[in-house]
Amino acid sequence: MTKKLWFQIGIGISLALIIIRLFIEVKDIFSPLVVIGQTIFLPLLLGGVLFYLTKPALKFFESKKVPKWTSILAIFIVLGLIVWLFTAMISPMITKQINALAQDAPELMQGFEDMVDFIVDQKKHLPLFVEQPIDNLTSRVNDMAQGFGTWMIGIIQSFLRGVFLLVLVPFFLLYLLKDHEKFAPFVASFFRGERKTWIRKTLVDIDITLRSYIQGQLIVSFAVGVMLLIGYLIIGLEYALLLATFGLMMNVIPFIGPFISVIPALIIGFIQEPEKAIYVAIIMLVAQQIESNLISPNVMGKVLDIHPLTIITIILAAGNIAGFWGIILAVPTYAVIKVIMKNVYARGSEIKEAANATVEEE
C-alpha cells in the first residue's frame, strides 16, 4: 500500500499540514525573521523591478565591451536623471492636485452621497434584486465619509514609511546588476549531472518569464496612463494627472486593475458634470481596447499563456489571503509556479522515455 500514489500524496499532505501547524505554534520564535522580511520586502521588490527594466541596457553595454562598473554607473546616472525630471516637473503637479483633492474631499464626499441618495430614491423604479446592493452601497459610502480623515492619515503615514524604505532600493539594484549572473550557477552547484542542467534551464525559464512580465506590464501600464491623461485633459476632468497616474498604477493588476482605476474618475466626473462620467467611461473603454488589441499583443505577446478566468480567480483569491500585495504578486507568482511545474513534467517525461528505451533495448 505504501507504494500507491494516493497513499504517498496523502502522507505528503498530512506532513505539510503538520509542519504548518507546528510553525503556527512556534511563530513567536520566527518573529524577528518576519520583521526583517517585512523591512526588506518592498526595497527588494522595487529593486528587482528596476533590475529587469535596466537589464536590457546592461546587456547593450556588455555587447559594446563596456566595463561592468562603467555600465552600472551609466544606468544609475540615467535613473537619477529620470527621478530628477519627475521630481522637478511632474511631482509638484501631482502634489498640487493631491492637496486640492484633500481640500475638496468633504465637498466631493457630499456630492457622492447626494449621487447615491438620488439612486436610492429611484429604488422603486428598479428590480427587487437591485435593492439590497444599493442599500449595501449606501452603508459603505457613509462609512467612507466618516472614516475619510483616518484614511488620509493612514495614506500619509504609509507614504512616509515607503519613502524611508526606498533609500534601500539603490543598494539592492546595485548588487542585482553586479552579481545577478552568479545566482543560477550558485543554485545549480548543489546538483550534479542532468539534474544540474535541468535546474539551470528552469532558472533561465523563470528569469525569461519574470523579465517579460515585468517589462511588458510596465510598458503597457505607462501607455494606458498616457492615453488616460490625454483623454481626461481633452474633456477637462479635474485632477486629470492624479487620476491618470492612479490608472497607470492600477493597470499593473491584470484585468481587474482597469476597472478599479476608473471608479474614482467616474465619481469625480459625475460630481463635476454628470455627462463627464459618460466621457470617462468612453475614454477608459477606448484605452483598454487599444491596449488589449494593439499594445499588449506586441509588447507582451503570450508570454504567460494563462486564461483570463484563471487570472481573475488567482487575483481574487490572493487578495483575500494577502491583501494588496497578494493582488500585485499573484499573477507573476503563478506564472513562476507554472514554469516550474512545466519543467518538472517535461523532466518526468524525459526520464520515463529513457526508462522505456532501456527496457526495449534489454
Higher pLDDT, residue 232 or 149: 232
Q: What gap in Å lies between CA 68 and CA 344, rounded to an integer?
A: 35
Task: Please name which of 39, 46, 32 lies closest in space to residue 171, comparing C-alpha atoms.
Answer: 46
Question: What pLDDT, on a 0 to 100 scale, did the predictor assign at position 149?
Answer: 47
Question: What pLDDT, on a 0 to 100 scale, did the predictor assign at position 216?
Answer: 83
What average pLDDT does the segment 315-332 reach? 78
Radius of gyration (C-alpha) of the chain in whole angstroms: 25
Q: Spell out the SS3 assignment of the chain.
A: CCCCHHHHHHHHHHHHHHHHHHHHHCHHHHHHHHHHHHHHHHHHHHHHHHHHHHHHHHHHHHHCCCCHHHHHHHHHHHHHHHHHHHHHHHHHHHHHHHHHHHHHHHHHHHHHHHHHHHHHHCHHHCCHHHHHHHHHHHHHHHHHHHCHHHHHHHHHHHHHHHHHHHCCHHHHHHHHHHHHHHHHHHHHCCCCHHHHHHHHHHHHHHHHHHHHHHHHHHHHHHHHHHHHHHHHHHHCCCCHHHHHHHHHHHCCCCCHHHHHHHHHHHHHHHHHCHHHHHHHHHHHHHHHHHHHHHHHHHHCCCCCCCCHHHHHHHHHHHHHHHHHHHHHHHHHHHHHHHHHHHHHHHHHHHHHHHHHHHHHHC
pLDDT in tens, 48-103: 888 988 988 888 888 888 888 899 999 999 988 988 888 787 778 877 877 777 77
Q: Which helix (H) or strand (E) holds 137?
A: helix 131-146
Higher pLDDT, residue 140 or 224: 224
Which residues contact residue 51 at a Cβ distance below 8 angstroms, ignoring those fewer than 6 apart?
173, 176, 177, 180
pLDDT in tens, 216-265: 888 888 888 899 999 999 998 888 888 888 888 888 877 777 778 888 88
| Residue 29: band (very low, low, confident or very high) from pLDDT cuts 50, 70, 90 | low
Task: Please name which of 229, 218, 207 lies closest in space to residue 299, comparing C-alpha atoms.
Answer: 218
Which residues contact residue 218 at a Cβ distance below 8 angstroms, ignoring those fewer than 6 apart?
49, 53, 252
| Residue 148: band (very low, low, confident or very high) from pLDDT cuts 50, 70, 90 | very low
The sign of the dihedral angle between the CA atoms of 32, 33, 39, 40 is positive
At 343, phi and psi to the nearest 5?
A: -70, -35
Question: What pLDDT, on a 0 to 100 scale, did the predictor assign at position 230?
Answer: 92
Query: From the CB of residue 19, how many other CB atoms can be counted at a distance below 10 Å?
Result: 10
pTM over 0.95: no
| Residue 30: band (very low, low, confident or very high) from pLDDT cuts 50, 70, 90 | low
Question: What pLDDT, on a 0 to 100 scale, did the predictor assign at position 38?
Answer: 66
Q: What gap in Å lies between CA 174 and CA 172, rounded to an integer?
A: 5
| Residue 298: band (very low, low, confident or very high) from pLDDT cuts 50, 70, 90 | low
Q: What gap in Å lies between CA 133 and CA 112, rounded to an integer?
A: 16
